[in-house]
Structure 1
Amino acid sequence: MNIASEHHVVKGKNTYTFNAFLLKRDSMDWYRDELFLHKAVRRYAGKNVDSIHNAILSFSPVVSSKWNKLAEQNARPEVRPYMLHYDAFNNRIDRIVRPQEMHILEKEVFGEGLFSSKMAPWESFVKRMLIHQLGEAGVACPLTCTIGLIALLEQYPNGDHPELREILQHTKEGMDGDFAIGAQFMSEIQGGSDLPANVLEAVPDGKNYRLYGNKFFCSVAHADYSVVTAKVTGSDKVSTFIVPSWLPGDKLPEKRNSYQINRIKWKMGTAELPTGEIQYDGAVAYPVGPNDKGVAVAAGIVLTLSRLEIGIACAGFMLRASREAKLYGDFRTVFGKKVKDYPLSASTLLRLQHAAERTTAGAFKIYDLFLSLHQPLNAGIPKDQPEELRKQLFNLRELILLQKICVTNEGADVLRDAISVFGGHGVMEEFSALPRIFRDVVVNEQWEGPRNLLLTQIYRDIERVADWYHPDEFVRNVLKGAAEETITMFSNQLVDLLQKPVCREVNEESIKAAEEWDAFCDLFFKAYQTVAREEVLK
């Protein structure tokens, strides 16, 4: 007998496999198998609910399988976007090199026509929530920026610039099957979120303008068109412009519209998304919106929609994290018991599910308010509107801000807790998408205004309207459906906080008040989400 052969057969044999878990995880349909999402659609989609439900059922398998695999391939560090500044003949082209899988995913996602007038708003909403479950994947931020560009062009049509009508058609309805991608370039090195500090110069050139200067943080650097804020020569006010990346006939020869991409940023998350530094040297720009009202236009339309989309994205992140943690908890055996059968793990899984459902329900409820107000994207609260409408617009404004800061903050906690369910495997990049999505949600927390900036804005907003919209009434309207004791508690807390030095000079008292305000906003918004969740579950 061959002893070595015998030892090979008998010793060291381990038949453990993850195949059962992988088979179940990879066969999951992110809409069909998410019953809470079905209930939310049934509650909010209205008279066309059946057709919307069926359209999403047809769409979901592509996201859950093909697009998910493409997203995983695009996330590999060796295929991160990089710059090719010159061609073989020393022509400056600033080509952003991305993997072929990214081009396929991008073309198919945008080819869905998610912003077309042919697609019902709720159908687009739920499809986007499913797409966000991919993580950034190189398509989430481009979708978000394109929404803002379309809304800006629809809000401020400009008959003097036929180019803007073509851009709207190209981004919203597509041209010959090609859907353009939008971006928003607002941040400069000296200002960040402080848009009034912009110094990029817009020089009049007939009916158009020419841009000169630098934008320091430009996500979706590969876009076809971008929303850019700049100051017109001689003005200290910011205006808004649409800038094509290529002028007609120049895209194929890769001749950019008089600007250069200095480099691609190296970020902790959203790594598949090219974020660049751009130097303008006479780029042709088309004005859009009221002149010298660029900050109000950008914040009232573009940033509002971006913040709204971040809430939808975090719902998608949490749904996926909860679902995959639950699957693994039901599969993995540790010390003779399944992970889900340990009380601490069971508590974590329940907390993840509850957070995902709350966040999803809250996103639906806010979007429903957004749709019901028809034209809620205003540069401020219009004074000439009936007071009741002004109050609803104010509620929407504050809820979008609260959602943005609260769900990104909780989203990081949810992803971290979901990763912990997997133990050591949870941090393995090839084992699960959760580490990648965790980094994405942390980056999302900084997009469109970091937490402290928006907390300050919310406080000042409520202070500013208190003479016609009492804080108690605001709380009662937002938390309608909550228990009376809950409403009274938050109302009393808000009235009390508005008497404290939350936004005044730094001292021991103001720091303590600021901490109380931070905690209040989180708990207040969770109370709103809880009402939304209960409404879906009725």
Structure 2
Amino acid sequence: MPSTHEVTNQVPPLTGHDTAADPALLEALHREGAGWAEPGLRELGELAGSAQAQEWGRQAEEHPPVLRTHDRYGHRVDEVEFHPAWHQLMTVAVGHGLHAAPWTDQRPGAHVARAAKFLAWSQVEAGHGCPISMTYAAVPALRATPELAARYEPLLSASVYDFGLREPSGKRGLIAGMSMTEKQGGSDVRANTTRATPSGGGEYSLVGHKWFTSAPMSDLFLTLAQAPGGLSCFVLPRVLPDGSRNRIQLQRLKDKLGNKSNASAEIEYDQAVGWLVGEEGRGVRTIIEMVNMTRLDCCLGAAAGMRAAVVQAVHHATHRWAFGKALVDQPLMATVLADLVVESEAATSLALRLAGATDRAQRGDEQEANFRRIGLAVAKYWLCKRGPAHAAEALECLGGNGYVEESGMPRLYREAPLLSIWEGSGNVAALDALRAMGRQPETVRAFFTEVDTAHGLDPRLDAFADKVRAELTDLTDIEARARRVVERMALLLQGVQLLRHGSPAVAEAFCASRLAGDWGHAFGTLPAGLDVKAIIDRGRAVRS
């Protein structure tokens, strides 16, 4: 081969590492009461960092699902075909309990353990996390009708991925989807026009069109429709108890910016059979518990994306040389990398804190339930809003190589905006935080109780907390200021977590930049005098 084709100064593949060997993740796992789960988390993290799992992720992304509406004879089949890699990813996720383990595991910290595993494993491929998240969230919603929970929950929580169109009771495990959005309104579900008419024997007949249906290959769906008593929640299986197909027709799959491995469909309910979940007219209240769970997963997904991106960026900068030394040793690049690590650890710390609040709220802790109510809305807004900017900067750390699909960075970049849209876009999340404060003032008290746990640890945090209190006292044009208010609340919560529990170097960098007002508008504008090397070291991949 001619000497011009010798490969030099290229970065070796990042494989054979442990995605769970993340200091911020492991520290949060233990302090939130799930230290007992570390062995299982590390096992999953090692698999996630393997060449095999990364190849599954690549294949699932590059070979998106295909809709088959009819068979060769003209019979309607409404099936979605997936690449085998998708099923491998799903098998691992379900087998490790990412879909529903906390609903059967009674140990304190079960939701934290599941959250940590979700964060570590979804770094492989984010699309399959959608049906995993939907299944996790469906269980508490179904419990609004005990007989439905008794019918479906044991199979939804089974640790077996059993793909295929069969009657639910004859399967070894089930996956749940969600079907809410309609053409005329996304977040405004009260504008839904799908109708549900009682047909006797506790059944309803649903007619309508859904503009987005998550994971249309699922075994059953939770959906909203207008019943005689108002907007209500229903569960619809794809196959009815008599073995016949429910009249749920897949019209087309969405051609999305990212999330390519996951099917998102428009569907038609043509007198589909459903059963009421909860009471008529209380569909939003019934479904809200599902939304809270999926919002937690949005936060976890954003944190996972940031961690995956920064590990790739640090790995590249460590092995790539320019101007006589490694990129990681170039002062300006080091500042960028450190800033990315700070953002990643702040996201992970807050997301796991909310997983802990979820766990304790499920066990009856009212204070934690109030904190979770406001904290999830605040974190959903900010963490998911930061994801795209973080992915873009991490991609740039790889230069032109990062802009090439083979690097995997474009996939992270395309995936990031979805989490800010799913389960309520930025405005919806910010307004939901205001709604919680207005309707449930106890959530504000819970928020500041959390903030006060760090009082006196750093004057910059104390001063920032005073600014947030002032923002919440002045209600003038509060809706127009919602994004600014919620952003500051999120930064305050992140500062609390890092000062109380994080690396001193990371906490100092966070306070000096995010809280002290000395931060620029781009990553890499940290103030001088920080321990940049110590921060970057926390962003390095650890070999299995």
Residue number in structure 2 paired with 1:16: 8
Query: Which residue in the other structure is 1:490 paired with?
Result: 465
Are the structure 2 counterparts of residues 294 and 70 from structure 1 closer, same or farther at C-alpha, using a change threshold of 3 Å? same
- Superposed, 1:115-154 pairs within 5 Å as 115-116=100-101, 117-118=104-105, 120-136=110-126, 138-153=127-142
| 1:190 aligned onto 2:184 | yes
Shift of 1:479: 4.8
1:455 matches 2:430: yes
What is the aligned partner in structure 2 of residue 528 from structure 1? 493
Kindly indicate whether the alpha-carbon contact (under 8 Å) linking 1:85 and 1:92 is maintained by their aligned counterparts in 2: yes
Instruction: Give the aligned residue type for 2:369.
Output: L
1:111 maps to a residue whose letter is G
CA distance in 1, matches of 2:8, 2:372: 52
Q: Are 2:275 and 1:305 aligned?
A: no
Separation in structure 1 between the aligned mates of residue 161 and residue 468 of structure 2, nearest angstrom: 56
State the alpha-carbon separation in 2 of the partners of residues 124 and 453 from structure 1: 27
Equivalent-residue separation in structure 2 for 1:437 and 1:284 (angstroms) = 38
- How much does 1:337 deviate? 2.5
**Alignment correspondent of 2:277:** 288
Shift of 1:111: 2.8
Deviations 1:138-158 (A, max 9, x none): 3101111111111212x3243
Query: Deviations 1:53-95 (Å, cap 9, x if unpaired)?
Result: 112222222222232220111111xx22121111111100011
Which of these residues, 267, 271, 274, is aligned with residue 278 of structure 1? 267
Tell me how far 1:295 sits from its aligned partner: 1.0
Say which SS state the counterpart of residue 187 (structure 1) adopts.
coil
- Residue among 493, 502, 506 paired with 1:537: 502
Q: Where does residue 165 of structure 1 map in the other structure?
A: 150
Q: Any conservation in 2 of the 1:174–1:180 contact (CA below 8 Å)? A: no
Using CA pairs below 8 Å that are at least 6 residues apart, which structure has the higher relative contact order?
2
- Paired amino acid for 2:208: G
The residue aligned with 1:383 is none
Say if 2:468 and 2:488, in contact at 8 Å, map to a contact too.
no
Match of 2:352 among 345, 361, 364: 364
Match of 1:380 in 2: none
Contact 1:228 1:242 in 2 (8 A): yes
Change (3 A) 1:205 1:175: farther
Whether 1:417 aligns to 2:412 is no
Alignment of 1:317-332 (within 5 A): 317-332=305-320
- 1:102 maps to 86
1:429 correspondence with 2:422? no
Deviations 1:293-313 (A, max 9, x none): 1012212x1111110111111
2:406 counterpart SS class: coil
How far has the Cα of 1:26 moved from its partner? 0.8
Rounded to whole Å, the distance in 1 between the matches of 2:249 and 2:70 is 11
Aligned to 1:229: 224
RMSD: 2.4
Question: TM-score normalized by structure 1?
Answer: 0.84
Shift of residue 122, structure 1, vs aligned partner = 3.1
Q: Which structure has the bigger radius of gyration?
A: 1
| Alignment check: 8 A CA contact 2:231 2:281 kept | yes
Whole-angstrom distance in 1 between the partners of 2:208 and 2:32: 46
> Quick check: 2:464–2:492 contact (8 Å CA) kept in 1?
no
* 5+ residue gaps, structure 2: 163-171, 504-544
How far does residue 441 in structure 1 lie from its aligned partner after superposition?
A: 1.5
Are the counterparts in 2 of residues 395 and 478 from structure 1 also a CA contact under 8 Å? no
Question: Is the Cα–Cα contact under 8 Å of residues 111 and 355 in structure 2 kept in the other structure?
Answer: no
CA distance in 2, matches of 1:391, 1:230: 33
CA distance in 2, matches of 1:302, 1:374: 13
In 2: Cα distance, 1:457 partner to 1:395 partner: 14
| Kept in 2: contact 1:110–1:179 (CA 8 A) | no
Match of 1:44 among 26, 32, 41: 32
Report how far residue 321 of structure 1 moved.
1.1
Deviations, residues 101-138 of structure 1 (Å, cap 9, x unaligned): 212322332233332324843332211111221242x3
Letter in 2 for 1:230: A
* Change in 2 beyond 3 A, CA 1:174/1:56: closer
SS in 2 for 1:239: strand
Separation of aligned partners in 2, 1:259 and 1:283? 6
State the match for 1:507 in structure 2: none
Write the distance in 2 (CA, Å) between the matches of 1:175 and 1:15. 45
Q: How far, CA to CA, are the matches of 2:386 and 2:112 in structure 1?
A: 25
- Provide the rounded CA distance (Å) in 1 between the counterparts of 2:306 and 2:452: 23
CA contact (8 A) 1:472 1:491 kept: no
1:208 corresponds to: 203
Q: 1:338 to 1:446 in 2, by over 3 A?
A: same
> Contact (CA 8 Å) 1:456, 1:503: kept in 2 or not?
no
User: For 1:214-253, what aligned pairs fall within 5 Å after superposition?
Assistant: 214-232=209-227, 234-235=228-229, 237-248=230-241, 250=243
Cα contact 2:44–2:117 (8 A) shared by 1 = yes
Change in 2 beyond 3 A, CA 1:55/1:209: same
Please, what TM-score do these two structures have when normalized by structure 2?
A: 0.83
Q: Which residue of 1 aligns with 2:376?
A: 400
Are 2:38 and 1:53 aligned?
Answer: yes
Q: Is the 8 A contact 1:111 1:179 kept in 2?
A: no
Q: Percent identity?
A: 23
| 1:37–1:476 Cα change, 3 Å | closer
Q: CA deviation at 1:325?
A: 0.6
- In the alignment, the residues of structure 1 paired with residue 159 and residue 241 of structure 2 have an alpha-carbon distance, to the nearest angstrom, of 16
Q: Deviation digits for residues 454-495 of structure 1, max 9, x if unmatched?
A: 2122223323445x77x6784354453144663454344444
- What amino acid is aligned across from residue 403 of structure 1 in structure 2? A
Offset of residue 424 of structure 1: 0.6
Could you say what secondary structure the match of 2:270 adopts?
strand
